[in-house]
Amino acid sequence: MDASRPRADVAQEGVGSYVQACLWAAREVAPRLGRLGSLRKDRALAAMGQALLHAEGEILAANGRDMALGRQRGLDAARLERLHLDGSRIAAMVEGLEAVAACADPVGEQIEGMVRPNGLRIAKVRVPLGVVAVIYESRPNVTVDAAAIAFKAGSAVVLRGGSEARHTNRALAEALRQGLGAAGVPPEAVQLIDRGGREAVLEILTARGLVDLAIPRGGADLIRFVAEHALVPVIETGVGNCHVYVDDAADLAKAEAIVLNAKCQRWSVCNAIETLLVHEGVAGEFLPRIGRSLARAGVALHACPTALGHLAACGGDVAAATEADWATEYLGPTLAVRVVRDLGAALEHIARYGTRHSESIVTEDRTAARRFLQEVDAAAVYHNASTRFTDGGEFGFGVEIGISTQRMHARGPLGLSELTTYKYIVEGDGQVRAG
């Protein structure tokens, strides 16, 4: 797809025409969004929140339809949990809009400034990306989060949610557009593409000149598909095969609380842990203790042979781990458990199986902690804290658009600043370059 094609060419029939019309609408409105002042954007975000509350009945009805269809299709419990909406989750979406409005507007921020010896004044200033496409699966909250953060960062957003949430996403997007219109902002700032299957996704990913950035949010298969087919820039997000390593110098009470929180607070999210690594020096004491707590929480354990021996009397669902378990993002009530000989073995395991998302060490040995924090290659690395803190809200960014696991300029929670680019503004007084 080429942005230089005349608008008349869009009149062709089919999925390509539908997607291209949405992308053109986003592209045409993007410059106007980039010029909106902070006050107008914040008022629009408030209006979007009010529109969600006003449309709560319609949104919940649409979600009920999607939930019923999901059960008919055999969606597992984890996917249904991610799909489900209720009044409290809609209220959380509104709170997210308020949090974004409360954040400083990054557009126009001067990142750096300098005066050259010849008198040129050079400023590096944040500017909007333009059009951001977000391709995601069954979490309807992404519809609101992505629209809010892209809008506050001065960009139009193109949303492509999973088919299992089609009715919910449609109701949410319509409410958001009504809120924008009520605030005097072009509703075209939010585009929902909700038909066309993989063909529509490919149209988005190949829309050079129309889409400035694509962000996939979902499982490994979705992210791989986007990375392999995109002709537009992509930031990969989401896959979280995260670990907690309990060192032989750990405070075991802290370790138990951290493991339970990191696994059980909400296990369908990417910053929940999927593997517990335990130093052999404390395995005999810690594993029976944590095993009983995890059993009470309904977590099944897939354990290495050494860990199996320590967990045998815990009374829960315990089975032998396979090689596949170490690389699995369960997104559900299952945890892989492995006993390692020392910190070095834990680091080797994480390097081999981790997805560069979030990793944690529990230890009172500061030398061990320092080595872990320095050597682990991940977007967020923790000492004596739960991996569940890898989140834009918890980091003080407002609502995030995803967690980047790449080594690009945007790594970890993608907040408002990460959804901008920059330009150099150069001011002179008649200077010309010699030579």
Mean pLDDT by 10 residues, the chain (435 residues): 41 77 97 96 98 98 97 89 93 93 95 96 97 92 94 97 94 98 97 92 96 89 90 87 98 98 92 97 96 96 96 89 96 96 98 96 98 96 97 80 81 89 96 89
Among 368, 147, 361, residue whose Cα is nearest residue 245: 361
Task: Answer yes or no: are the C-beta atoms of 44 and 183 closer than 8 Å.
Answer: yes
88: enclosing H helix or E strand = helix 87-102
Give the CA distances from residue 196 to residues 12, 175, 177, 203, 207, in Å, rounded to whole numbers and listed in that order.
15, 22, 21, 10, 15
Task: Answer yes or no: are the C-beta atoms of 245 and 362 closer than 8 Å.
Answer: yes
Token reading at 10: 């869009």
Superfamily of domain 242-389: Aldehyde Dehydrogenase; Chain A, domain 2 (3.40.309.10)
User: Residue 93's pLDDT is what?
Assistant: 95
Give the architecture-level CATH label for domain 7-237+414-426: 3-Layer(aba) Sandwich (3.40)
Question: Rounded CA gap, 271 and 357, in Å?
Answer: 7
β pairing state of 420-427 and 121-128 = antiparallel
C-alpha angle 389/390/394, rounded to 5°? 55
Give domain limits for the chain: 7-237+414-426, 242-389
First to last CA, the chain: 42
Question: Rounded CA gap, 235 and 223, in Å?
Answer: 9
The interaxial angle of helices 343-353 and 366-375, nearest 10 deg, is 20
CB atoms within 10 A of CB 68: 10
Task: Answer yes or no: are the C-beta atoms of 232 and 55 closer than 8 Å.
Answer: no
Question: Rounded CA gap, 260 and 246, in Å?
Answer: 13
Question: Rounded CA gap, 396 and 426, in Å?
Answer: 32
What SS3 class is residue 285? helix
Question: Rounded CA gap, 199 and 247, in Å?
Answer: 49
Question: Rounded CA gap, 219 and 196, in Å?
Answer: 20
| Backbone phi, psi, residue 389, to 5° | -80, -5
Among 154, 155, 157, 204, residue whose Cα is nearest residue 176: 157
Strand positions, DSSP E, 8-68: none
What SS3 class is residue 371? helix
